[in-house]
Amino acid sequence: MYYILAVIMGVMIVVSPVLNGQLTLKVGTYKTSLLNFGIGTVVALAVLMVFGSESVSPVIVHVPPYKYLGFFFGLFVILIYNHISSRLPAIYLVLLPFMGQTIMSTIVDYFIFDSFNFRKLIGVLLVFTGVWFNERK
């Protein structure tokens, strides 16, 4: 079941920016981002109503405020994705963020967890080389 969900998630990761890019061309980056967050908020509220909010409320109070910075990062990710998705091919919309995530996770692993995975770095370099060769044609 988890493998099926992972495949569905992979499909959505490709389709979502492409659709958002098309919407951005029609209504603009900021309106598209507002729609993304607005619909996300409505869906999140619906999930809270279905599963109950009593289990969520106490948790929110005890979380350090700096941990909510993820919301701001998410906002910028959506803004950037909506802005570039109409200007890049779908394959780059998948590969380039993946490369950024892998590079950042390598840095986090090294500085925070005091570990380094050389194979991960080689993989990113191979993907980067493939993108570079593809662009050179």
9: three-class secondary structure by DSSP = helix
Number of folded domains that form the chain: 2
The mean per-residue pLDDT over the stretch 7-18 comes to 86
Comparing 54 with 1, which gets the higher pLDDT? 1
Same domain (yes/no): 2, 56: yes
Give the separation between CA 93 and CA 95, rounded to whole angstroms: 6
Same domain (yes/no): 42, 3: yes
User: Any idea what the Cα angle at residue 17 is, between residues 71 and 70, rounded to 5°?
Assistant: 10
What pTM did the predictor assign? 0.65
Same domain (yes/no): 94, 70: no
Residue 42: pLDDT band with limits 50, 70, 90: very high
The mean per-residue pLDDT over the stretch 56-80 comes to 78
Number of other residues whose CB lies within 10 A of the CB of residue 96:
15
Same domain (yes/no): 106, 128: yes
Same domain (yes/no): 38, 94: no
What is the C-alpha R_g of the chain? 18
What is the extent of the structural domain holding 19?
1-86
Same domain (yes/no): 25, 36: yes
* pLDDT for residue 61: 66
Whether the pLDDT of residue 57 is over 70: the answer is no
Q: Which two tokens stand for residue 60?
A: 């929110």
Same domain (yes/no): 99, 67: no
First to last CA, the chain: 40
Same domain (yes/no): 59, 72: yes
91-124 pLDDT, tens per residue?
888 888 888 888 888 888 888 888 877 887 888 8
* pLDDT for residue 26: 92
Same domain (yes/no): 136, 123: yes
